């Protein structure tokens, strides 16, 4: 089945949920992309969108410099759906009234459907609980709109103009706390906007195979395998497209967890038959990282050295193949959509961190990047991997950062600290697997506070050892996350084993911070 090339554009007004809206649209089998609110209407329309969704945001429509919606958008004929701030900005641009009524609503709020003929709420109950987060309210709808729902604090909690294919809601249908929110979003996409539910992972594979072939032609390509699902799926997808033109390179940079190098050589090669070159670069990376404590500095060093190793490997591969006069011009990377968004690319959002696949590459990069997963979220990547026939051990592996254990050591990196962290991490992973809870946890970083010491008692003697932080988190796409409520007896077993078996550690603590305000990784 082919993919409709016309995306649903999610206009980001600074909402923490903009990425979640894009995911929910895709869950309705409709392709979506995030664009900044600063993009002009003409540029949006040039993308030939199937529909446009205006996200929420932290501003008040009355605030000086608050983002506005160009009224020309609503004369374009493109279906538009406003959410929260986007809903208010839409109402204001079309001549409705938005006021500071003093009746703010936050969290779960009862919603009454006041028009039973509503297309937006078709198939949903007349009373439902929704997730609100607003101070201002729309008090009168623009001309031509029907008010279809209300709450105690929002007389116009939803409105629609089916003739012009415009609609909006004051609440957040994209969050799981809004009952029937996904149904409401799908009612807009299909019932009002007329979008076809034809975006599938099978369509993604076909489309990416075509694009890869067009980009690469008969060129030679290398791909860096990290052992993670992202690079594995990217490599399998490129191999599907160009076969033996691809050589995979596994760089053992000495920052891996226990058993990861063996897993790459055994599982991935067995599943795909891909040509694999293994490069031992442990000393090179550790020498470059010596004494570096700044996390951004670590990321940039690792990104730089990673590329330099690849350049050396490319020359060796060409020489060994006897491909005189040829060079490897393309590098495959498993960059995902959240990587792009968090690095400030594609959405106009703030740069949260440099990602070694996005923002940590050197300016004089000698390769052209091939990024077949750049528009996908992690769960979509897993589905693509399953369709490509990759084994479950690879597809369901927990995400692991490209910079490896270097960014799970708070402080400088050296062989001794890596040994401590590798041992603690292996224990945590083994116990989680034994408990059968692997798939209940999105990611389980184990962090060494290398420059922190705490007093302990071991063997009737006073110790001055390192703390280890356990950071199990639950998430759908890593854009937001909450700490995983693992059973206490499991946490206790992990703690006991680490403090018994890793002599340099005398304290294990649990990180119970959500994202936001924290990030999943500590560095």
Annotated catalytic residue within 84, 195, 223, 248: 84
User: Which residues have C-beta within 8 Å of that of residue 153, sequence separation ≥ 6?
Assistant: 101, 103, 104, 105, 109, 132, 134, 137
Annotated catalytic residue within 27, 105, 134, 172: 172
The answer to whether the CB of 128 falls within 8 A of the CB of 111 is yes
Residue showing tokens 């958008």: 73
Q: What order do you get walking across the sheet with 80-83 strand by strand?
A: 32-36, 8-12, 51-54, 80-83, 166-169, 158-161, 146-150, 105-113, 127-134
Please tell me the distance from the alpha carbon of residue 452 to that of residue 449, in angstroms, as a whole number: 5
| Cα radius of gyration (the chain) | 25
Dihedral sign (CA 167, 169, 172, 176): negative
**DSSP one-letter code for 300:** H
The answer to whether the CB of 121 falls within 8 A of the CB of 113 is yes
- Range list of β-strands (E), 416-483: 446-449, 454-458, 461-470, 473-474, 482-483
158: β partners: 149, 169
- Catalytic residue flag (residue 523): no
Annotated catalytic residue within 27, 160, 174, 523: 174
- Catalytic residue flag (residue 253): no
Please tell me the distance from the alpha carbon of residue 296 to that of residue 364, in angstroms, as a whole number: 19
225: β partners: 250
3-state secondary structure of 219: coil
- Catalytic residue flag (residue 466): no
Q: Which residues are known catalytic residues?
A: 84, 172, 174
């Amino acid at each position: 089945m082919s993919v409709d090339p016309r995306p649903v554009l999610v206009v980001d007004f600074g909402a923490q949920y903009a990425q979640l809206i894009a995911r929910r649209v895709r869950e309705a089998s409709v392709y979506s992309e995030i664009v900044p609110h600063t993009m002009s209407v003409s540029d949006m329309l040039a993308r030939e969108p199937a529909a446009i969704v205006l996200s929420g945001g932290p501003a008040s429509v009355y605030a000086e410099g608050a983002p506005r919606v160009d009224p020309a958008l609503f004369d374009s004929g493109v279906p538009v759906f406003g959410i929260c701030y986007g809903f208010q900005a839409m109402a204001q641009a079309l001549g409705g009234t938005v006021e500071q009524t003093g009746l703010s609503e936050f969290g779960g709020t009862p919603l009454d459907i006041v028009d039973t003929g509503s297309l937006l709420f078709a198939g949903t109950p007349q009373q439902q609980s929704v997730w609100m987060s607003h101070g201002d309210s729309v008090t009168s709808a623009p001309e031509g709109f029907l008010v279809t729902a209300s709450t105690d604090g929002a007389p116009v909690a939803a409105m629609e103009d089916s003739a012009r294919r415009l609609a909006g809601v004051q609440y957040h249908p994209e969050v799981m706390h809004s009952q029937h929110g996904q149904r409401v979003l799908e009612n807009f996409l299909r019932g009002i906007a007329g979008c076809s539910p034809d975006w599938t992972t099978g369509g993604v594979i076909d489309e990416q195979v075509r694009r890869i072939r067009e980009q690469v032609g008969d060129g030679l390509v290398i791909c860096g395998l990290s052992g993670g699902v992202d690079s594995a799926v990217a490599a399998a997808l490129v191999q599907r497209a160009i076969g033996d033109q691809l050589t995979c390179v596994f760089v053992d940079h000495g920052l891996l967890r226990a058993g990861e190098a063996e897993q790459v050589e055994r599982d991935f090669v067995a599943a795909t038959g891909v040509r694999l070159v293994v490069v031992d670069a442990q000393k090179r990376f550790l020498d470059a990282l010596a004494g570096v404590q700044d996390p951004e500095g670590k990321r940039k060093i690792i990104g730089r050295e990673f590329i330099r190793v690849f350049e050396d490997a490319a020359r060796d591969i060409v020489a060994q193949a006897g491909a005189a006069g040829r060079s490897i011009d393309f590098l495959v990377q498993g960059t995902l959509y959240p990587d792009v968004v968090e690095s400030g690319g594609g959405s106009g959002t703030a740069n949260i961190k440099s990602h070694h696949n996005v923002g940590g590459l050197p300016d004089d990069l000698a390769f052209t990047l091939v990024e077949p997963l750049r528009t996908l979220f992690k769960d979509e990547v897993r589905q693509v991997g399953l369709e490509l026939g990759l084994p479950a051990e690879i597809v369901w592996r927990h995400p692991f950062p490209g910079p490896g254990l270097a960014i799970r050591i708070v402080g400088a990196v050296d062989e001794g600290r890596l040994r401590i962290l590798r041992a603690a991490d292996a224990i945590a992973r083994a116990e989680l697997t034994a408990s059968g809870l692997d798939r209940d946890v999105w990611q389980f970083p184990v962090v060494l506070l290398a420059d922190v010491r705490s007093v302990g008692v071991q063997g009737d003697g006073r110790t001055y050892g390192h703390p280890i932080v356990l950071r199990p988190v639950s998430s759908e796409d890593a854009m937001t996350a909450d700490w995983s409520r693992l059973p206490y007896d499991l946490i206790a077993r992990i703690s006991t084993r680490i403090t018994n078996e890793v002599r340099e550690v005398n304290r294990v603590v649990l990180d119970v911070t959500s994202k936001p305000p924290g990030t999943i990784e500590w560095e």
